[in-house]
């Protein structure tokens, strides 16, 4: 049964009841909506075509202001009710300016969009459901070569983790991965009162600008994930203890590996007593490469 299309509040293009199972919280503050749209619009310059992918447009509260700014949109939406509502309103009223695809973003690839390529990139935006925000960020890492920027609404705590510095409580595995792939900028915070239904936590808008970085293969990416899991499971231990088992295994394969590792570590400003959560993403990557190439 199709969702009935009508306006219940001025920030929704059509009425859509939030579904808890999909983690839906709809932005309902016109000032914040316009602030986000303006931030996104500022990313298009030097005559660059205004084209973006919007993840989870929901009831279109951000989609409409983006269209008003002359931005062409490919909307990627899992909820069939929202797909129907967007097609019956925005698509009908903005011919050739917006296309809506019903899909699970984690199963979708930007390679299927003929408008973009690694040489002809676009912007990706979205209000990410809290319960899968990390998964979507990992998806964005995988396909970052297709995007000039990502602008995402995240739980404020997650935004702080992405932007964290080594040695702080928010610094962890997610921080390391995201900062290898992107320059991270927390633009501004969004109070919980700006959403319907009101979530239990505040949110924040984060801009991710891709770096020229990628792993050579999925196997290397997986190996890096395992390596950071070892490090941060012992984040407050001294490094020689955190990596004791891994270094012992490497020494068995080739005598002198331990000495070579500590020589590398010292050249990067790290000692045996350094704790993993005080080591920068780039240095962690160098350690990962050492273990990978020593196998």
Which domains are present in the chain? Answer: 20-210 (3.40.50.150), 218-293 (1.10.8.100)
Residue 157 annotated as binding site: no
Q: Which of 113, 101, 180, 99 is nearest to 147 (CA)?
A: 113
Q: For every one of its 295 residues, what pLDDT tens digit does the chain have, with 9 covering 90 and above? A: 344 443 445 667 667 676 776 666 778 899 999 999 999 999 998 777 899 999 999 899 999 999 999 999 999 999 999 999 999 999 999 989 999 999 999 999 999 999 999 989 999 999 998 889 999 999 999 999 999 999 999 999 999 999 999 999 999 999 999 999 999 999 999 999 988 778 889 999 999 999 999 999 999 999 999 999 999 999 999 999 999 999 998 888 888 889 999 999 999 999 999 999 999 999 999 999 999 988 6
Residue 85 annotated as binding site: no
> Rounded to the nearest 5°, which phi and psi values hold at 129?
-55, 135
Write down the pLDDT at residue 14: 61
Q: What is the dihedral of CA 74, 139, 157, 23, to 10 degrees?
A: 60
Residue 25 annotated as binding site: yes
C-beta separation of 57 from 77 below 8 A = yes
Residue 77 annotated as binding site: yes
Residue 104 annotated as binding site: yes
Its pTM stands at 0.91
d(CA 278, CA 166): 5
Write down the pLDDT at residue 28: 84
d(CA 237, CA 224): 20
d(CA 52, CA 98): 10
C-beta separation of 26 from 59 below 8 A = yes
Residue 160 annotated as binding site: no
Write down the pLDDT at residue 30: 93
Write down the pLDDT at residue 24: 67
Q: 26-27 and 195-196 as β-strands: parallel, antiparallel, unpaired?
A: antiparallel
Write down the pLDDT at residue 196: 79
């Amino acid at each position: 049964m199709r969702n009935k299309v009508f306006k219940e509040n001025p920030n929704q293009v059509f009425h859509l009841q939030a579904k808890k199972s999909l983690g839906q919280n709809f932005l309902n503050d016109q000032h914040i909506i316009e602030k986000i749209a303006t931030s996104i619009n500022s990313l298009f310059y030097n005559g660059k075509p205004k084209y973006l992918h919007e993840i989870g447009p929901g009831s279109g509260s951000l989609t409409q202001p983006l269209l008003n700014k002359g931005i062409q949109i490919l909307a990627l939406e899992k909820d069939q009710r929202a797909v129907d509502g967007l097609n019956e309103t925005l698509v009908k009223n903005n011919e050739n300016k917006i296309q809506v695809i019903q899909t699970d973003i984690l199963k979708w690839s930007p390679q299927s969009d003929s408008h973009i390529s690694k040489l002809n990139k676009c912007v990706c935006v979205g209000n990410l459901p809290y319960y899968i925000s990390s998964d979507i960020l990992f998806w964005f890492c995988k396909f970052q070569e297709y995007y000039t920027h990502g602008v995402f609404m995240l739980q404020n705590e997650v935004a702080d983790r992405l932007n964290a510095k080594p040695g702080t409580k928010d610094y962890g595995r997610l921080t390391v991965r995201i900062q290898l792939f992107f320059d991270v900028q927390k633009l501004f915070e969004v109070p919980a009162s700006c959403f319907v239904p009101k979530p239990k936590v505040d949110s924040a808008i984060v801009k991710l600008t891709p770096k020229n970085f990628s792993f050579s293969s999925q196997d290397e990416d997986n190996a890096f994930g395992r390596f950071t899991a070892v490090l941060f499971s012992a984040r407050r231990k001294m490094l020689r203890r955190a990596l004791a088992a891994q270094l012992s295994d490497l020494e068995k394969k080739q005598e002198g590996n331990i000495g070579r590792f500590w020589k590398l570590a010292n050249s990067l400003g790290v000692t045996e007593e350094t704790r993993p959560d005080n080591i920068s993403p780039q240095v962690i990557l160098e350690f990962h490469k050492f273990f990978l190439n020593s196998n």
